[in-house]
Structure 1
């Protein structure tokens, strides 16, 4: 709230991805201990939640509306959250290859 300290409420941050259960906006939230998770903005009507950050990228196998960004110490990949689908894709970091315009000048 912009009127802190009078107002102490917080608003969840929308991440621009729709909920697979009811079509509501997925939002970034924090647990009491500060860990980030993602859930439907229509809570408590919709109970969808995940620890992995949803990204606007369709699953090529099952055509799910989004993939989730799963990052651990050893693995960085996009995974499909659909229980019947086992799609996984490595996250490739940009290596600065987009700056080729200077070579052509």
Structure 2
């Protein structure tokens, strides 16, 4: 990269929509990857794009849960079939069933005392032992 971080930096990767080169750009909410053909092509993704997890969505059972970032900078996990499925959770998902209610998703919660798994179902109060 050059010393001027405000200028778009070429990445040498083709855009999945129009095959022009992707660039690392700086925007209002930080760094992002966008197409060099903007405004003709408005493809963009986060600079630290994570392709997702292998955890299936418990709501639609078709999509996978992927990590996203809110406009306030907080991470959350949502179904990649959005807008057809609007399921999301605030904690990292684990593909295990709850032993209490058999809900197909547990969430990894970190506390000062350690890490534990909690049920993704709001009606269930299951919490695993500290790890």
**TM-score higher than 0.5 here?**
yes
Residue 54 of structure 1 is matched in structure 2 by: 93
Residue 57 of structure 2 is matched in structure 1 by: 19
* 4+ residue segments displaced more than 3 Å: 72-75
- Identify if the C-alpha distance between structure 1 residues 80 and 38 changes in structure 2 by more than 3 Å, giving closer, same or farther: same
Q: Could you tell me which runs of 5 or more consecutive residues in structure 1 were left unpaired when the two chains were aligned.
A: 93-105
Q: CA deviation at 1:50?
A: 1.1
- TM-score, normalised relative to structure 1: 0.73
Q: Retained in 1: the 8 A contact 2:98–2:105?
A: yes
- Quote the RMSD (CA, aligned, Å): 2.2
- Identify if the C-alpha distance between structure 1 residues 54 and 34 changes in structure 2 by more than 3 Å, giving closer, same or farther: same
- TM-score, normalised relative to structure 2: 0.60
Rg (Cα) greater in structure: 2
Structure showing greater relative contact order (alpha-carbon pairs closer than 8 Å, 6 or more residues apart): 1
Aligned residue pairs, count: 92
Residue 65 of structure 1 is matched in structure 2 by: 104
Q: Which has the higher strand share?
A: 2
Which of 44, 68, 71 in structure 1 is aligned with 2:83? 44
Secondary structure of 1:14's aligned partner: coil
